[in-house]
Structure 1
């Protein structure tokens, strides 16, 4: 269900000076803005935003924040452009001084110069956001093809340079939220953990984590993925830690439990490609030590067949590689037989909607799913069109104003 309270613009780390200048926008949008400014264009327009799929909408609060912070014009554009160029040069200089030269005194000095330039740009900026009329749906709303999700009314030169930015935000956030919701829908209430940190650029993590939470995930991998919600990342043991313990999963898991006693301990049990044997070894040792093992996670590579399947000769119609229903049942069986029925089983590695649906249809004893790259795939393009100018239809052929009574005025 959509959250009806919008996130404040202060939540987002928006590079205001660069967005106002059109640094993140297709050049033709910035040129459109400049042409309209020079001609003192005085006709009000209505911009209509939509996409073409059934989806879970996300990114509206962030897009609105961009419109609120970066709609307007410079009182002296030529001076602003020169100040901006100097501002960007100072940014580069700071990086060189700090990273290459390690000259921290000069870094501090140039950083002040850079900040002063940014403040001067703020001073000559005329904020026109209050003159815009924005109406929008909410993050988490279900949307249909061609449905109007947002309208922006005002003088086009005040927001023309922002089209690349707000459409890109809506596209990325809606894609992730929709993919996550699709997976959550078939998991029968079992937690979905968002492990997509390593499959895309790190700067995408904040917004992706937010969108994934809108879509229904129960946890995210990194702290910054939870920043907009005030949550922390979750996770326990990577394969690299086990490797540092000489491949001893038991000792690596014990080390984690002792170092982070407040964190529910989940052991990663596929390092030796014998999830059954390793799960039992870890569970037995934890019981002997008087420690609580929350769960085990199976992450067998799609190129490997677990040793338990080979030992048992379990080669039937099911593809034997990776994490399979048979492998999960093997682990569940040995844990239950040895008094570890309280230990949960999580799975990861190649899980998407189809694979989760297969596991749930077969009622496989999985307690939680970890999903990664599958939640970032696909496309969800958004489009913006001017559909009305001075109260009259003004759209290109094939587009027209589509009023949507679900839209709410943004204050």
Structure 2
């Protein structure tokens, strides 16, 4: 296995230098830098094997001693339930300089339960130690992408933005919101996530700004005056007064400049209900503000999205439903060893036919 390049030195871990972790001695030599800022793994730590399960290091060391580490194998990964396949870009980056052939579903594809989504061929030592991160990349991103797809399907043609970054560790928030875009979300609020997906971040304004300014209309006017022309003028209307009243006040102040009003009524006040959406829509229309869209957020699920959409909501900000989605379990099995079909009991040895797999590498 190739060692990490000199420009990939580990940060926050002592005793590893640029070494690939291929033995228990190297595991024992790992020392955590007391000045390390965060617990999340760096790209260098993932690439050197520091995020794998220990038994893969033991396996690597034993097979190396026996002269079997480069045994040709074929491995397949299957998903435990249906969903949206995501995370393959990170898998490919992990295996970029490895002597491994890769077949996989295209990212964003629908997958069926027990379907083979990834196939690897090459010397075991080239990828065996990375089984843990490979499965983790796919499991988490596929779970988030699947939740996003369900939210988007519920919304139909109406926009859905991912607002889930605040519910998850910041080190993986960009991964989550990028996966949400893969799953179908129209945008993300997390800056890095949107940039990774080739988009610009989207969002409205927080309650904090309105509270500090002291009045919703004053806050809306300040936003309208100070923000770039291409920033949508969507204003929260649930901070101080009745939502319908605030919606009209803001609409009167901004006129055609107002893009939309956002309803984010907390659960302590009953949350955003279909009745509230209908009332705000009706009152805006009665005053001639038909152009003002209603954006809703706060504890949204596909079921709530459907109901609120029918009531007149035009766009949705979805947070914890996506960020809290369970990973889709992925399982990797060796299916061939030295060119011979061979696997563990309960699995069928040899290549599993799947014409949907695409040669990636």
- The TM tier, using the shorter chain, reads 0.7 to 0.9
Which runs of at least 4 in structure 1 moved beyond 6 Å after TM superposition?
none
Kept in 2: contact 1:239–1:268 (CA 8 A): yes
Query: How many angstroms apart in 2 are the aligned matches of 1:175 and 1:151?
Result: 20
Q: How does 1:92-111 map to 2 (within 5 A)?
A: none
Query: How many angstroms apart in 2 are the aligned matches of 1:15 and 1:341?
Result: 49
Query: How many angstroms apart in 2 are the aligned matches of 1:137 and 1:268?
Result: 41
1:50 equivalenced with 2:100 (yes/no): no
Query: How many angstroms apart in 1 are the aligned matches of 2:160 and 2:45?
Result: 36
**Partner of residue 406, structure 1:** 356
Kept in 2: contact 1:223–1:231 (CA 8 A): no
1:271 equivalenced with 2:239 (yes/no): yes
Kept in 1: contact 2:144–2:327 (CA 8 A): no
Query: How many angstroms apart in 2 are the aligned matches of 1:28 and 1:367?
Result: 51
Q: How does 1:70-85 map to 2 (within 5 A)?
A: none
Q: 3-state SS of the aligned residue for 2:138? A: helix
Q: CA deviation at 1:183?
A: 1.2
Query: How many angstroms apart in 2 are the aligned matches of 1:177 and 1:132?
Result: 26
Kept in 2: contact 1:299–1:348 (CA 8 A): yes
Query: How many angstroms apart in 2 are the aligned matches of 1:379 and 1:16?
Result: 21
Q: How does 1:201-240 map to 2 (within 5 A)?
A: 201-240=169-208
Query: How many angstroms apart in 2 are the aligned matches of 1:344 and 1:155?
Result: 57
**Partner of residue 22, structure 1:** 49
Unpaired stretches in structure 2, ≥5 consecutive residues = 1-40
1:149 equivalenced with 2:117 (yes/no): yes
1:173 equivalenced with 2:173 (yes/no): no
1:301 equivalenced with 2:266 (yes/no): yes
Kept in 2: contact 1:295–1:343 (CA 8 A): yes
Q: CA deviation at 1:161?
A: 1.2
Higher helix share: 1
Kept in 1: contact 2:165–2:174 (CA 8 A): no
Deviations, residues 147-197 of structure 1 (Å, cap 9, x unaligned): 111111111122111111111000111011111111111212100011001
Q: 3-state SS of the aligned residue for 1:189? A: coil
**Partner of residue 4, structure 2:** none
Q: 1:36 is matched with which residue: 63, 77, 101?
A: 63
Q: TM-score, normalised by structure 2?
A: 0.84
Q: 1:369 is matched with which residue: 285, 309, 316?
A: 316
Query: How many angstroms apart in 2 are the aligned matches of 1:19 and 1:286?
Result: 50
Query: How many angstroms apart in 1 are the aligned matches of 2:306 and 2:198?
Result: 31
Q: How does 1:339-350 map to 2 (within 5 A)?
A: 339-350=288-299
Q: 1:338 is matched with which residue: 280, 287, 294?
A: 287
Q: CA deviation at 1:349?
A: 0.5
**Partner of residue 198, structure 1:** 166
Q: CA deviation at 1:405?
A: 1.7
Q: Which has the larger radius of gyration?
A: 1
Deviations, residues 312-360 of structure 1 (Å, cap 9, x unaligned): xxxxxxxxx2100100111111111112111111100011111112234
Count of paired positions:
316
Kept in 1: contact 2:140–2:326 (CA 8 A): no
**Partner of residue 68, structure 1:** 96
What is the aligned-residue RMSD (CA, Å)? 1.5
Unpaired stretches in structure 1, ≥5 consecutive residues = 1-13, 70-128, 305-320
Q: TM-score, normalised by structure 1?
A: 0.74
Deviates more, 1:35-44 or 1:374-383: 35-44
